[in-house]
Amino acid sequence: MDKIVIEGGRRLEGEVTIAGAKNASLPAFAATLLCPGPFTFTNVPDLKDIDTIIALLKDLGAAITRPEKGVVVVDTAGLKSYEASYDLVRTMRASCLVMGPLLARMGKARVSHPGGCAIGERPINLHLKGFGAMGAHTALDEGYVNITANDGLHGAKIYFDIVTVTGTANVMMAALAAEGATTLENCAREPEVVFLADMLVRMGADIKGAGTDRIVITGGRPLKAVETAIIPDRIETGTFIAAAAITGGSLRINRCNPADFEAVTIKFIEMGCTITEGNGWIEVSGPKRPAAVDIETAPHPSFPTDMQAQAMAVLAVADGTSVIHESVFENRYMHVAELRRLGADIRMKGANAFVHGVPGLSGATVMATDLRASASLIVAGLAAKGKTSVRRVYHLDRGYERIEEKLKKTGARISRQPDK
Ligand code: UD1
């Protein structure tokens, strides 16, 4: 296991290039189960979660090659299984995304129930409710969800009680095999959902309304494989904005899509950052000291929960008190106790965090507990005086492509070291 060691207090300056989005890659890879390939993906990030979805697809019978860096070719012509094992699902809960496409292609799916995770209970009841409304039968046995549609799927009207990103993607993919029209209400509007719908439409699907809260899918269209470039990772981009903000640095962030993270940009401008943007890039300069701002996380286009921890690290050194309200996940504050070890003054009351900005942080050994918490600790470590060691970085490697190398190029004193 590795740790990331940072000598904090250095201003970042330079350019970084954003990788393809993990959360766009995973549903797009799952969509290859809908019909035989070959599907070619470009701009694929080099991440642990990508290795996991590739292992899962191989397990199901897919032939996969990686002809060059960032390119993955998937062909599910030899699909032979409809089961996603416990071992794979427990390492990555987004493995559930194979449910919808397997159900559409094979009329059945058997997927290990993902259970809860560090940041919350994260049930999949709404995915299953959607499949059920289209005529599928679901049953749990030995921790596996068995979904069958012996008489095929039919169009339905489905309302998501809570906005769910992977739920919207999963049910949208299953609906491609349903006879007639399926209307999904209260859908996730995340750029990754729009990206998936765009890929499916290029495959031949009839999908209207992606990017709004109402998506209509007319099923039964023949599908074919397509070539797809993965969209840039908006959360990696936001993490670099936070890194510039906390160090008073100046970064040009290339190969990103500013329209996908406006709520984040606006909040960092409120904190005192200067941000300019163009087609595929943004430039951010951090203030001398950030100003306190209030943040409430909510589904897109609001402030993303996946940026809450990194923003909190910046607000920990802000001038004044910020109130952060986390409305998406019930337990997404695992980074708070670790930020306190660096000197942050944060008080919790239910889903609210009161962040009383301190003039500076000081380095310490801290423990990463989940993906975005890891990023938050790295952002904090960049500003903390002295040495910060972030342990358990395997969480980080699930979603960030060699972040320490990118930060090093912009002047951070940061390295990856073996940990015991
Ligand atoms: C996705 C993202 C994750 C992000 C999250 C919220 C991927 C692979 N992951 O996760 O990075 O943090 O969106 O933006 O894209 N819920 C239910 N029942 C369900 C499904 C969800 O109650 O059947 C609840 C969850 O517990 C949570 C909320 O809905 O409170 C939103 O979760 P959801 O959007 O489903 O998150 P994921 O799709 O798992």
Q: pLDDT of 381-416, one tens digit each?
A: 999 999 999 999 988 999 999 999 999 999 999 999
Using the mean position of ligand 1's atoms as its centre, give its distance from the Cα of residue 64 in Å.
28
Write down the CATH number for the domain with range 22-229: 3.65.10.10
Sign of CA dihedral 135, 139, 145, 149: negative
Alpha-carbon distances of 214 from 158, 182, 184, 295, rounded to whole Å: 10, 10, 6, 27
Whether the CB of 26 sits within 6 Å of ligand 1: yes
Using the mean position of ligand 1's atoms as its centre, give its distance from the Cα of residue 91 in Å.
16
**CATH match for 2-19+232-418 among 3.90.550.10, 2.40.50.180, 2.60.120.580, 3.65.10.10:** 3.65.10.10
Question: Is 86 in contact with 302 (CB distance < 8 Å)?
Answer: no
> What integer pLDDT is reported at residue 193 of this predicted model?
98
Using the mean position of ligand 1's atoms as its centre, give its distance from the Cα of residue 188 in Å.
10
Whether the CB of 49 sits within 6 Å of ligand 1: no
> What integer pLDDT is reported at residue 222 of this predicted model?
98
The DSSP H or E segment spanning 414 is strand 413-418
Q: Examine residue 301 and say whether the peptide bond preceding it is cis (omega within 30 degrees of 0).
A: yes
Q: pLDDT of 119-151, one tens digit each?
A: 667 889 999 999 999 999 999 999 999 999 999
Whether the CB of 50 sits within 6 Å of ligand 1: no
> What integer pLDDT is reported at residue 1 of this predicted model?
84
Residue whose tokens read 């990856």: 416
Whether the CB of 99 sits within 6 Å of ligand 1: no
Range(s) within the chain of domains with CATH label 3.65.10.10: 2-19+232-418, 22-229
Using the mean position of ligand 1's atoms as its centre, give its distance from the Cα of residue 166 in Å.
6
- Strand 345-349 versus strand 321-325 pairing type: unpaired
Mutate to test the pocket of ligand 1, among 91, 95, 122 (most ligand atoms within 8 A of CB): 122
**Catalytic one among 117, 187, 256, 273?**
117
Going by CA atoms, what residue is nearest to atom 35 of ligand 1?
Answer: 164
> What integer pLDDT is reported at residue 123 of this predicted model?
86
> What integer pLDDT is reported at residue 270 of this predicted model?
98
- Residue by residue, DSSP assigns 308-343 as HHHHHHHHTTSBSEEEEE--S-TT--HHHHHHHHTT
Whether the CB of 29 sits within 6 Å of ligand 1: no
Whether the CB of 297 sits within 6 Å of ligand 1: no
Going by CA atoms, what residue is nearest to atom 32 of ligand 1?
Answer: 164
Going by CA atoms, what residue is nearest to atom 22 of ligand 1?
Answer: 123
CA atoms within 13 A on the CB side of 152: 9
As given in the structure block, the two tokens for residue 49 are 């979660």
> What integer pLDDT is reported at residue 119 of this predicted model?
67
> Which residue numbers in the chain have pLDDT < 70?
115-120
> What integer pLDDT is reported at residue 121 of this predicted model?
72
Q: Which atom of ligand 1 is nearest to the CA of 169?
A: 38
Using the mean position of ligand 1's atoms as its centre, give its distance from the Cα of residue 294 in Å.
23
Nearest-angstrom CA–CA distance, 376 and 379? 5
- Active site includes 256? no
Mutate to test the pocket of ligand 1, among 164, 173, 330 (most ligand atoms within 8 A of CB): 164
Whether the CB of 124 sits within 6 Å of ligand 1: yes
> What integer pLDDT is reported at residue 195 of this predicted model?
98
Nearest-angstrom CA–CA distance, 34 and 403? 33
Q: Where are the beta strands (DSSP E) in 134-208?
A: 137-141, 144-148, 157-159, 181-185, 206-208
